[in-house]
């Protein structure tokens, strides 16, 4: 992954990923270009996933109490 992608915030990465998905969904690209875009999209997806994993660990740490870790389901 390029240094630029490593420095992107979650929001920036997600916005770029959405642009790439839109380009692929249009279906008007040649195969080579589609594969390049897909490869970049996968890298951005992985970058977003890594940021989310770090954020989840931070939330768990914040929720630590003197009695141990209180893990709660934060899904809506």
Q: What is this structure's pTM?
A: 0.73
> 12-53 pLDDT, tens per residue?
999 999 999 999 999 999 999 999 999 999 999 999 999 999
Q: Both tokens of residue 58?
A: 């931070």
Average pLDDT of span 51-74: 74
Residue 9 zone, left/alpha/beta (φ > 0; ψ -120 to 50; rest): beta
- In contact, 11 and 18? CB cutoff 8 Å: no
């Amino acid at each position: 992954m390029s240094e630029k992608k490593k420095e992107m915030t979650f929001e920036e990465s997600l916005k770029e990923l959405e642009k790439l998905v839109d380009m692929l969904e249009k279906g008007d690209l040649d195969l080579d270009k589609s594969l390049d875009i897909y490869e970049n999209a996968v890298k951005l997806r992985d970058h977003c996933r890594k940021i989310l994993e770090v954020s989840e660990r931070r939330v768990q740490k914040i929720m630590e109490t003197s009695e141990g870790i209180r893990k709660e389901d934060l899904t809506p």
